[in-house]
Structure 1
């Protein structure tokens, strides 16, 4: 489900500002658990793809420019990898700073 929403955003069929169905409505439409949809929405929020405004609902976020999108995506992937390795935030920061210095100097 998450990948389907990402594809729709990339292809432009879900434009920035488009309102998404409620978690319950989408779960009913897809025949899946409410928690599955809620988790997908949370992950999409973490990625900056979806914004949720309480009772107003969830919307496709304004994505900004392409370079910023790619940078944020890479940062999110790095953070997830560091977390899966059990690395502390401080050690992950040190590693990325060292890599940036090596690449951008």
Structure 2
């Protein structure tokens, strides 16, 4: 696993780490059960603060991508495709909100498409 921090990238270093790890999980180069480097090891490798890596791991843990077991370390979660699970949960939450607002299917679709275009450039 080769991660890099791009100083020209406006995204914070923690977000760059998070996205690269997430992409590695999606691509299968970090399969479930794989142990991640310690926070200190990865921070040293990337030349960034320990807290920056810790934040990236914490965000991935909140999303169900990473599991941390104290001194045993952090691992890629064993629960299927966590990315797909998070997308489905967000879609369900959005659909419920759209229904409570009385939006039509077409209005909801248009809102999602507009949001995706704005966020996933």
Structure 2, gaps ≥5 residues long: 1-16, 106-121
1:31-63 alpha-carbon deviations (Å, 9 max, x no partner): 111111000000000110000000100000023
Structure 1 distance, partners of 2:70, 2:51, is 17
Supply the RMSD in Å over aligned alpha carbons: 3.1
Distance change (3 Å), C-alpha of 1:55 and 1:72? same
Structure 1 distance, partners of 2:67, 2:99, is 29
Higher helix share: 1
Structure 1 distance, partners of 2:22, 2:63, is 10
Q: Contact 2:65–2:83 (CA<8 Å) still a contact in 1?
A: no
Matched, 1:14 2:23: no
Q: Contact 1:47–1:76 (CA<8 Å) still a contact in 2?
A: no
- Counting matched residue pairs gives 87
* Corresponding residue number in structure 1 for 2:87: 73
Structure 1 distance, partners of 2:57, 2:91, is 17
* Corresponding residue number in structure 1 for 2:118: none
TM-score by length of 1: 0.67
The ranges of structure 1 where at least 4 consecutive aligned residues each deviate by more than 4 angstroms after the TM superposition are 76-79
Structure 1, gaps ≥5 residues long: 80-93
Distance change (3 Å), C-alpha of 1:61 and 1:17? same
Matched, 1:27 2:29: no
